[in-house]
Amino acid sequence: MSGRTLREQLRGLPTRPGVYLFRDGDGEILYVGKAKSLRSRVRSYFPAGTERAGKLQELVQRTKSLETFVVGSEAEALLLEANLIKEHAPRFNIQLRDDKTFPYVKVTVHERLPRVLVTRRLERDGARYFGPFTDVGRMRRALRTIRQLYTVRSCHYDLPVTAPERPCLDYFINRCKAPCVGYQSEGDYRRMIDEILEILSGRTGALKRSLRKRMDAAAGDLEFERAAELRDVLRGLEVLERRQTTVDFRGGDRDVLGLAVRGSLACCLFLRVRDGRLLGREVHFLRNVASEEPGVVAAAAIKGAYLRQVDLPTELLVPAEIPDRQAMEAVLSDRRGGAFAIRVPLRGRKRRLTELACENAEHVLAERPATQGTAEVLEDERLRHPPEASVALARVLDLPVPPRSLVCFDISTLGGRESVGSASWLENGRPRKNEYRRFRIRGTEEGRTDDYAMMLEIVSRYFHRRVSEARQLPDLAIIDGGRGQLAAAAHAMESAGVSDLPLLALAKREEEIFLPGRPHPIRLAQRSPALHWLQRARDEAHRFALDYNRSLRRKRTLRSKLSDVPGVGPVREAKLLRRFGSVDAIRALELTELVATPGIGRTMAARIKASLAGSGDLGEAAENDPPQ
């Protein structure tokens, strides 16, 4: 790839957690790394005009292209990075020789009286494995939570083949009910293990509700130590609910198909999972898919990718049911020389893997203009076909047309000082910076805050000016706030003659959507693309307003006492400070020395001396304070 293509790839990187691969001109993997934000981390390797030293400079010079995997969390990125380094052994990565892996929680369900253990090795022994845990301390806390709730045996007897004659110390301190000597029945013990498996699988809702009731009851009875213990157990359960999607505990070989469609172009991405580890991906683009069902597009990708492939897995996970599935399974089973299944997972780990594949396909398709030179084609398709989030937003708000352009208003103030407002503009989900606007609030007294009045002012000023200049109006207006801010904005838009424009307010605390004339707010699912669009517009407006507020406060704190002297403007103030260094030095001057300064007459010098007499240099003190 050309250097220009690599630069374009850098511009299109997502801000999500993930793993990045640097490749040379022949496609060989040079380096694998993980990132909390792919955009920030990968761009840090290529700062403009900076020469790197040693191995890092060689890596940057040899890198001609990059590949990224988007995952759900930084922990998942860490796991995937470890898998890829072990698989490909890139020359610029530090190679680990001890093959140490991340720990798992192991439940020996193949035993008649199972145990709960910690292990770093996955074996096909019939046990259930949960993990891996990138944070060993987190895993230990999870186990402590289980042992606070259940009396699981910790001995190593092969029960009931070999058993002790009497119970151990754990029985006498209430950590075990001694099933080894028959004090607890095998059925009762098994039911307890089944509950533990449910908890380790992340299904903790009923138990958490029960624990909260017990905690509240203990607090009501003034048993605060017991309430604190139950609180700690609840926190431990929250740890157990966090899941990883980059590894399948049970091992196995499978491919996972992710699908993304934009107009007549589709991206089908296959994630390669081998021996339970995510090791790579394969990308295919398909054209002329407009109005086709997702299953039909997926079937076309499978035919194109699999009918010429040698290394077939035992299973393929797809996001939608495909036509002629059984016939395709029969052909691929014959080609593989063994059973081959195509499945559409509806829930659980496999469903999360499918969602991860689709998310990566979306990312690759978004990168397509930068890497394949088809920007004009995709831009035309993007204009003709509204984004998924736009369609979802129209459905939620009951709009006749999907909104493509969104403007969001926000207020930033600190105790009523330097109160400002902002308007961010998103076009098809992307910031349109030349349409951003900022406002310095005029109608609020210094030191006094009135969010509703400030919102009324900035929305009124914004739309009055757009109308008077005959500028484009957005498809949807968003207010950062609740019902009060929404009412103020609606009044401002009515006065500007744009009351027919769709309007909503997005409240931060619960991410509730308020609409004019509706008594109850709308709550969208956290994964909703419509909510993500609204959040992005809100976050952009908040950032823009906050930056403006901070810049005004910095200017105010950097002013010296000289600026309060009548007749001393910014130019004269700068000259005096540049000549004498500080206000203290100017205060110590004799009147004749000050008069000798070019541009300062006797009257002005006397005025400066009188104003500075008996006052400290508040401006310099403020300048040394950290920014607010």
Q: How do residues 246-260 score in pLDDT, each as one tens digit?
A: 444 445 678 899 998
Residue of 624 and 299 predicted with greater confidence: 299
What the block records as the tokens of 79 is 């796991």
Residue of 297 and 288 predicted with greater confidence: 297
N-terminal to C-terminal alpha carbon distance within the chain: 45
Task: List the beta bridge partners of residue 506.
Answer: 480, 513
> Mean pLDDT: which of 61-70, 235-244, 415-424, 431-440 is highest?
431-440
What the block records as the tokens of 346 is 């509806």
Handedness of CA 380, 383, 384, 387 (dihedral sign): positive
What the block records as the tokens of 516 is 């004019």
The residue type at 350: K
The residue type at 301: A
Determine the pLDDT at residue 585.
80
Determine the pLDDT at residue 594.
82
For 188, phi and psi rounded to 5 degrees? Answer: -65, -40
Determine the pLDDT at residue 277.
66
User: What does the pLDDT look like over 304-319, one tens digit per residue?
Assistant: 777 655 567 888 999 9
In this model, does residue 422 exceed pLDDT 90?
yes
Residue of 261 and 577 predicted with greater confidence: 261
> Mean pLDDT: which of 141-145, 178-182, 565-569, 624-628 is highest?
178-182
* Least confident residue range of 258-272, 463-477, 549-563: 549-563
Compute the average pLDDT of residues 540-545: 90
* Cα–chain center distance at 301: 30
The band of 551, judged by pLDDT with boundaries at 50, 70 and 90, is confident
In this model, does residue 213 exceed pLDDT 50?
yes
Separation between Cα atoms, residue 261 and residue 373, nearest integer Å:
18
In this model, does residue 581 exceed pLDDT 50?
yes
**Of the candidates 149, 152, 143, 147, which has an alpha carbon nearest to the alpha carbon of residue 189?**
152
Compute the average pLDDT of residues 213-229: 84
Determine the pLDDT at residue 627.
32
- SS3 at position 287: strand
* Least confident residue range of 171-185, 217-231, 379-393: 379-393
Q: Is 256 exposed, middle or buried (0-12, 13-18, 19+ CB in 10 A)?
A: buried
CA atoms within 13 A on the CB side of 428: 12
Separation between Cα atoms, residue 133 and residue 120, nearest integer Å:
10
In this model, does residue 487 exceed pLDDT 90?
yes
Task: List the beta bridge partners of residue 550.
Answer: none
Q: Are 67 and 20 in contact (CB under 8 A)?
A: yes
Calculate the average pLDDT of the chain.
78
The band of 513, judged by pLDDT with boundaries at 50, 70 and 90, is very high
- In 22-96, where does DSSP find H-type helix? 38-43, 54-62, 74-88
The band of 463, judged by pLDDT with boundaries at 50, 70 and 90, is very high
Determine the pLDDT at residue 371.
44
User: What does the pLDDT look like over 47-103, one tens digit per residue?
Assistant: 766 666 677 888 888 888 888 888 877 767 777 777 777 777 788 876 544 445 667
pTM of the predicted model, to two decimals?
Answer: 0.36
Determine the pLDDT at residue 628.
31
User: What does the pLDDT look like over 276-286, one tens digit per residue?
Assistant: 666 667 788 88
* Least confident residue range of 119-123, 245-249, 322-326: 245-249
In this model, does residue 505 exceed pLDDT 90?
yes
In this model, does residue 4 exceed pLDDT 50?
no
